[in-house]
């Protein structure tokens, strides 16, 4: 079955992104396809390379990257939500006159159309951290 996951919550404040990561691992292990992971609203913080947690805490950006590299996943971050929250790739940093970019490796910025397109192509679309 083809899945798409949508993540709405920050990994610092909510368990939802960790649950999504574990769900992603489980569905891939079960032989399903993960068409796309779409990060919307505060979910864009999953792609913040400057997030600096304690050494004994998990780092969601690097966990997503590891999974994406192993399974060639498409990790898409909503560009409008990301820019508002200060998660920028080098193109957007240039466009908005910022001195640095911080989009973590393995993620790409794109529009909400990627969420809708993924929903059209997937058998199951699961939202994590949607309430609130």
User: Can residue 41 be called a binding residue for another protein (CB under 8 A)?
Assistant: yes
Q: Which stretch binds another protein (CB under 8 A): 27-35, 47-55, 62-70, 116-124?
A: 116-124
Counting residues that bind another protein (by CB under 8 A) gives: 19
Query: Which residue in the list 5, 6, 27, 78 is annotated as catalytic?
Result: 78
Name the one range near another protein by CB under 8 A: 27-35, 44-52, 62-70, 112-120: 112-120
Closest by CA position to 46, among listed 59, 55, 57: 59
d(CA 118, CA 127): 13
Looking only at Cα atoms, what is the longest distance across the chain? 45
Residue 114 Cα to chain centre, angstroms = 12
Catalytic status, residue 78 = yes
Nearer Cβ to another protein, position 1 or 80?
80
Residue among 93, 74, 81 nearest 44 (CA): 81
Please calculate the CA angle 45-47-51 and round it to the nearest 5 degrees. 65
Residues that bind another protein (CB under 8 A): 6, 8, 40-41, 80-81, 111-113, 115-117, 119-120, 125, 127, 130-132
């Amino acid at each position: 079955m083809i899945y798409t996951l949508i993540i709405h919550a920050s990994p610092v404040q909510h368990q939802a992104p960790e649950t999504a990561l574990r769900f992603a691992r489980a569905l891939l292990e079960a032989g399903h396809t993960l068409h796309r992971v779409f990060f919307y609203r505060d979910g864009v913080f999953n792609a913040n390379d400057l997030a600096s947690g304690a050494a004994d805490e998990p780092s969601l950006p690097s966990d997503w990257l590891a999974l994406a590299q192993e399974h060639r996943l498409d990790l898409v971050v909503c560009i409008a939500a990301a820019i508002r929250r200060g998660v920028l790739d080098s193109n957007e940093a240039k466009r908005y006159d910022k001195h640095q970019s911080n989009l973590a490796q393995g993620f790409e910025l794109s529009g909400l159309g990627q969420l809708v397109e993924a929903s059209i192509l997937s058998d199951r679309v699961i939202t994590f951290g949607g309430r609130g």
